[in-house]
Amino acid sequence: MPPLQKSEALQLLQGGQAFFPALITAFDAATSWIQLETYIFDFYGAGEEVAEALVRAARRGVAVQVLVDAIGTDPLPAAWQKKFADAGVEWFSYSPLTGLLGWLVPERWRRLHRKLCVVDQRTVFCGGINVLDDFYDPNHGELQAPRFDFAVAVTGGPVAADAAEAVALLWWRVQAGYSARKRHLSDAWDKFKAAGYGGRTDTRLLANPAVSAAASFSGAAVPRAALVLRDNLRNRSSIERAYRKAIGQARQEVIIANAYFLPGGKLRRALIRAARRGVRVTLLLQGRYEYFMQYHAARPVYGALLAAGVEIHEYAASFLHAKVAVVDGHWATVGSSNLDPLSLLLAREANVVVEDKAFAQDLRGRLLEAMASQGQRMDPAAYGQRPLGQRLQGWAAYALVRLALLVAGQRY
């Protein structure tokens, strides 16, 4: 994990109702560059408002680049294709599949799942929130309550530099790959070099002092943060290692809220060891059925955790989409990574790790409030007596996950 370094300011944003206004305000104040990555970009409700803000920025000369996952995001509607093209908004899809046969290639299971946005290479938004209205789900329609999710806005410092570079490099790599597939080899080579190869990088990264050097800070109260990326090259297990290190050093309390929870053996053992040495370990997990695999495959791993004294609370007021944690009231993480094999082994993910008591206590309070008012604690005895049908569904889903990992050549 990169070292924690000082940032000018951190802001915790809960749900789209806080996140989207902050994002749009940043877009409307942007002067040079907006870089946005998201798994889902949906144009309903709040998503349309975000899209309109991107158009406004592009029309006044801001460079606007949007990279979406080709599986998470539907093809760009014709009306928005024209609107973006007329305004100058650049839009690319990450790793499109060609027909159903594309799913048979395990390499194509590696998706762009991170939610990162950098504005003027100075303000970074990172979290679990897609560009998707809080009260709408593409598969389930209108929601009675908003999704439970978080993002963090980081202003200034090395986190901004790291995020701007990461987003810019992936943007140019995707463009280079697109040109190569179209056999525009000269263009592909130029974009390949622009992605940081052959001794060249994007000149806009070098020209902005916010990226090339960190601001100077003073005072013990200044928060420290780091951007932790997961990819399939140098950062294969960075996010999981950050979790395991924090859990291993915990002395009093570990609180984790995670949407799709199916940790591997190392992470499960870290949680169990923490609980057995007297740390209060509390999990807030998805209690509302969303997808068969994610919902049922998690159930078989609960037994060992409950037996060790881990508290499990299920959230069912709406869909829980958060991927956050607080340890001992001073360490926290907010990001896109679930604690499951898709996130920890295959997808591109991004988390921000924070060392700051005020920030951590704010997040901790929100998680405890959600558990108290909208969560239900799982009873170990009731878990042990769950019906046979539920057990079979759990083991079937778990077996399918293990089979998929075997096909993908992954150990978990």
- What is the per-residue pLDDT across 348-400, written as a single tens digit (0 to 9) for each? 999 999 999 999 999 999 999 999 999 999 999 999 999 999 999 999 999 99
Which of 145, 178, 212 lies at the terminal end of a domain, its last residue? 212
143 with 261, same domain: the answer is no
Interatomic CA distance for residues 345 and 236, integer angstroms: 7
Kindly state the helix (H) or strand (E) to which residue 233 belongs, with its residue range: none
Judge whether 218 lies within some domain: no
**Catalytic residue check, 82:** no
Q: Compute φ and ψ for 121, nearest 5 degrees.
A: 55, 25
Residue 90: Cβ-neighbour burial (10 angstroms; 0-12, 13-18, 19+): middle
Q: Position of tokens 């995670």?
A: 258
pTM of the model: 0.89
What is the per-residue pLDDT for 193?
53
What is the per-residue pLDDT for 186?
54
206 with 233, same domain: the answer is no
Q: What is the CATH number of the domain that holds 100?
A: 3.30.870.10
Q: Which of 6, 191, 296, 321 is catalytic?
A: 321
**Catalytic residue check, 6:** no
Which of 162, 177, 212 lies at the terminal end of a domain, its last residue? 212
Mean pLDDT of the chain: 88
Q: Using DSSP, how many helices (H) and how many strands (E) does the chain show?
A: 15, 18
Low-confidence winner among 101-105, 199-203, 290-294, 402-406 (lowest mean pLDDT)? 199-203
Is the pLDDT at 343 greater than 90? The verdict is yes
- State mean pLDDT over 198-215: 37
Residue 270: Cβ-neighbour burial (10 angstroms; 0-12, 13-18, 19+): buried
Judge whether 217 lies within some domain: no
Is the pLDDT at 220 greater than 50? The verdict is no
Range of the domain at 162: 5-212
Res. 37 pLDDT band, cuts 50 70 90: very high
**Catalytic residue check, 379:** no
181 with 264, same domain: the answer is no
Res. 276 pLDDT band, cuts 50 70 90: very high
> Domain total for the chain?
2
Interatomic CA distance for residues 77 and 362, integer angstroms: 39
Is the pLDDT at 200 greater than 90? The verdict is no
Judge whether 252 lies within some domain: yes
Q: Position of tokens 């970009």?
A: 41
196 with 256, same domain: the answer is no
What is the per-residue pLDDT for 182?
52
- What is the per-residue pLDDT across 115-151, written as a single tens digit (0 to 9) for each? 999 999 999 999 999 999 999 998 889 999 999 999 9
130 with 243, same domain: the answer is no
Q: Which of 69, 120, 149, 162 is catalytic?
A: 120
**Catalytic residue check, 328:** yes
Q: How many CA atoms lie within 13 A of 300 on its CB side?
A: 20
Q: Which of 6, 113, 191, 313 is catalytic?
A: 113
288 with 355, same domain: the answer is yes
E strands in 129-279 = 136-137, 141-142, 150-155, 224-230, 253-258
**Catalytic residue check, 313:** no
**Catalytic residue check, 162:** no
Q: Assess contact for 116 and 350: CB atoms under 8 A.
A: yes
Q: Which of 6, 42, 69, 115 is catalytic?
A: 115
Is the pLDDT at 73 greater than 50? The verdict is yes
Torsion angle, CA of 25/27/33/38, rounded to 10 degrees? 110
Judge whether 223 lies within some domain: no
Interatomic CA distance for residues 61 and 75, integer angstroms: 25
Q: Which of 190, 202, 231, 328 is catalytic?
A: 328
